[in-house]
Structure 1
Amino acid sequence: MSVMTPTAPAPITPASTISLETATVRNWKPPIGLGVFAVIAMLLFTIGARSGVTIFRLSTDSDLIQLPALSADVTVVTIVVTVLLFALAAFSAWKTFQAKKTPLWLTVVFAALFLIAFLTWAAAGATIPVPGLLVGAVGLSAPLIFGALGGVISERVGIVNVAIEGQLLAGAFASAVVASITRQPVAGLLAAIVAGVLVSFVLAAFSIKYFVDQVIVGVVLNVLVIGLTSFLFTQLLSPNEALLNSPPRFPRLPIPILGEIPILGPVLFRQTIIIYIMYVAVAAVWFALFKTKWGLRLRAVGEHPQAADTVGINVNRTRFWNVALAGGIAGLGGAYFTLDSAGAFNKEMTAGAGFIALAAVIFGRWDPIRATLAALLFGFASNLQSVLSIVGSPVPSQFMLMLPYLVTIFAVAGLVGQVRAPAASGKAYIKS
């Protein structure tokens, strides 16, 4: 009979003596992207070299404080900036080699230098009105910002809002008709909100109550609104233009003192009431989303509806009313087209702005402030093609027309990379 002798337990190694090998993660996308753009700049400014002087006018004739215009020698600026771009790309590569992230300031400085060099090269021998360029960018960004804010709220609560285009177009149509009949632009503004909410009601009803795929409902709504407004424009607005399609526009309301700040004054503080509402909307949505009980419940429903339901939040009701709120905000963006920018309704006048706003939501990582900055970038790209066409840029007009959409594609596909949407976004909630 054999006797089993117990074996002594293995000695426990103190935690302080355990060496953990950490994997070194290096993200080479930023330095590669910056290097590619540096090479593009070198080829553009070398093969298509231009000479002369570009003048950047910093003040308008009505400014109280007149800033002197800046003159930039095209050859000097393009050479110096190209060298700096390669230096920044090399610095980014060095930081990546050390397994560190490329700083945000480096990307911002790189983009600013590239833009300055491109403007100097493209407008050689001409004058660029900087305040006019920026004012136009803010104007073209306004409907995108309203649409992006609506998209952020809707997706944060769990509903993919592909119908932003339809909400913008419905808001533009309703504001034009109501403001034309009442001769009150404020009434048109309220009508735009109601129109956006009505489109959102349809989106919410089919997505939340009947569990229809949210993307399909959004696409169908866009087609429906485009077809309906086009039909009504042809049958009603065009034959009765004086009565139904001649809305009064909001006047510009300069803010005293702030409107006299050089550059920023004409751009930000000599605007119409819709732009000022936009400023308030951006701040209000950000504060409400991240600093209030309402925002906490909204984000909880978009991230984990089961957990939100467990603590007593009515998930579907929260989704329904917040999607309606999102539609109302997007409707305000539609009112900008008719009550501020164009002054009348035209068929399909939004021209895909809703889809660019949706791209701004993704580019901004579902954050109101970042989405606003993304919308401003797209608006700036849109206005840039107009300004460069006026000053006689050598860049083909077809490419300039593509510029806003190229920026959109590059921003979403190249700059954002992998991002995580709200976990329950696009998923219908069925209470178990």
Structure 2
Amino acid sequence: MVDVILGLQWGDEGKGKIVDYFAPNYDIIARFQGGPNAGHTLYVEGKKIVLHQIPSGIFHQNTINLIGNGVVLDPVTLKKECDAVAAFGIDVRKNLFISERTNLILPTHRALDKASEMQKGDSKIGSTLKGIGPAYMDKTGRNAIRVGDLLDKNFTTQYIKLRLKHQKLLDNFHFNEDISAWEEEFFEALEFLRTLKVVNGEYFINNLIGSGKKVLAEGAQGTMLDIDFGTFPFVTSSSTISAGVCTGLGVAPQKIKDVLGVTKAYCTRVGGGPFPTELHDAVGEELRKIGNEFGATTGRPRRCGWIDLVALKYTCMINGVTKMVMTKADVLDTFEELNVCTSYKVNGEEKAEVPFQMTKVNIEPTYKTFKGWHADSTKIKEAAAMPADMASYIKFINEYTGAPVKYVSNGPGREQIIHL
């Protein structure tokens, strides 16, 4: 049996804490897509740690953590992350497993990412420059080097061949930066990677499921960044939706049971791309300040706006969401009024659907206004203690999306979750 936790907006929904909260109920936590552009923030023993590639169950000593084949893996980031986790007394060699089909991010992938983004000028998509797009391009172009290739005696030949191909592309971009230090770090990290448990991921996970073990598949980024269904071209390079679990881990669709979708009580977005409910005023600034909205991976200030129910209903539909988790509800504690987007005016016409290409139409959000609850929600432990105005805000979201909010996160602490 596989349950899934994924983001229903543009990423940064607070999935790390939610996975960490649910992790003790599962035997395996598995990452099924994305790369080191994802940052899942956890608080362990009161200290903050951001995980980029290691699944968020690593701090639960009896939990198996699997990096699946749908992930693109940067060995350098992985080594640094393992060192950071080891500082908490956790031995990653014990419960971290990596699928041999996982694709590697090479130093030249990072260089290509940088060169390509620089050339785009004003039409930059806001890449994190971690080499993710170019790594996925090599995967679909059937050129990629995978973790299992590290054990092949011809690995160096394979590496040189791909590096030369990349060098030709970099020459076309007139990219002259010296990346020899990146390469040195990369080969050092490969030696470390060879000491970890590399497994045949699809057999590994299916055998565990067959023996009655419970799997939690952990998504990175959010549905509105999905390569197919997101705000293309301002998207990531992988399948961030529940269907990506099947291709990113090698499990059959009927093995998936619950899909827990995570949404903020408002909306944020990092980097370029359409964002219909974005606020360019003092309210947006206030949301950013109270919510401490700066990227976990990049530190970039996040764009902030009201919750967009047109997009949220769309992402619930695509993922088959069975339960929603609403995070950062406490950020709205002090607002007099709250707006909720219930439809779009697309080129002057009222619509309740996400358009094919948001960048090519003029979208105006239509709002329904709710009274703020003016109470400190961070102290609430149970649903009965919730202010009436907070309960009616959530009830409206349930009714509009058709997917029930079952959990409300009301602070960064692991225990700050109200079960509805």
Does the TM-score normalized on the shorter chain lie above 0.5? no
Higher-Rg member (1/2): 1
Structure with the greater relative contact order (CA < 8 A, sep ≥ 6): 1 or 2?
Answer: 1
Higher normalized strand content (fraction of residues):
2
Query: TM-score per shorter chain, which class?
Result: under 0.3
Higher normalized helix content (fraction of residues):
1
